[in-house]
Amino acid sequence: MDSSWADQRRQNALAQAQRLREREAAESAQAREYLEKFISAARRTGVGPEQLYVSDGNGKRAKTPLQGWYLKADRSVAVAEDGQFYILTAPLSLAQRLRGVNPEASAPTLILGKGGRDGEQIDLTEALSVRIPTWAEG
């Protein structure tokens, strides 16, 4: 009896994990669509990309090879010209601050700052509207 209960519990946990992965994938796909629309609107309205930097949160930063648009006022997240989403906060060594860093793209989310320590969250659509109020119209 204990074995079947444990097996059922394990099956339920696996199913729940699968549903979570599917929900996150759908959310990321929706966020990517929004980011593509935003980039198109930025180009159409003449809001050009800028040099992106990674910050350590203490005022130190490092240049990246990326150009794009910051999505939050604190410059902690951005979308690059190619549509890739980046979280731009990380610990930085002296060498990284001098030579620069090449951050890895992340899966975009519909809530920026979700799960972050500072508790400052903003809906992706709201953040995009702050940058370009008409981004969704195109």
Q: Give a three-class secondary structure readout of 61-127.
A: EEEEEEEEEECCCCCCEEEECCCCEEECECCCCHHHHHHCCCCCCECCCCEECCCCCCCCCEEHHHH
pLDDT band, very low/low/confident/very high, at 113 (cuts 50, 70, 90)? confident
> What pLDDT, on the 0 to 100 scale, is given for residue 57?
85
Average pLDDT for the chain? 92
CB of 110 within 8 A of CB of 30? yes
Q: For the chain, first and last CA: distance in Å?
A: 59
The b/e string for 56-71 (b: 16+ C-beta within 10 A; e otherwise) is eeeeebbebebebbbb
* Single pTM value for the model: 0.86
pLDDT of residue 17: 92
Residues 69 and 22: their CA atoms lie apart, in Å, by: 28
Q: What pLDDT is stored for residue 107 in this prediction?
A: 95
Task: State yes or no: pLDDT of 1 exceeds 60.
Answer: no
What is the rounded average pLDDT of the residues 123-128? 95
Indicate whether 90 pLDDT > 90: yes
Q: What's the rounded mean pLDDT across residues 12-36? A: 94
The closest of 71, 68, 43, 85 to 131, measured between CA atoms, is 71
Average pLDDT on 53-65 reads 95
Residue with tokens 């109020």: 133
Three-class secondary structure of residue 55 per DSSP: strand
Q: Which helix (H) or strand (E) holds 32?
A: helix 2-45
pLDDT-wise least confident of 50-54, 89-93, 111-115: 111-115
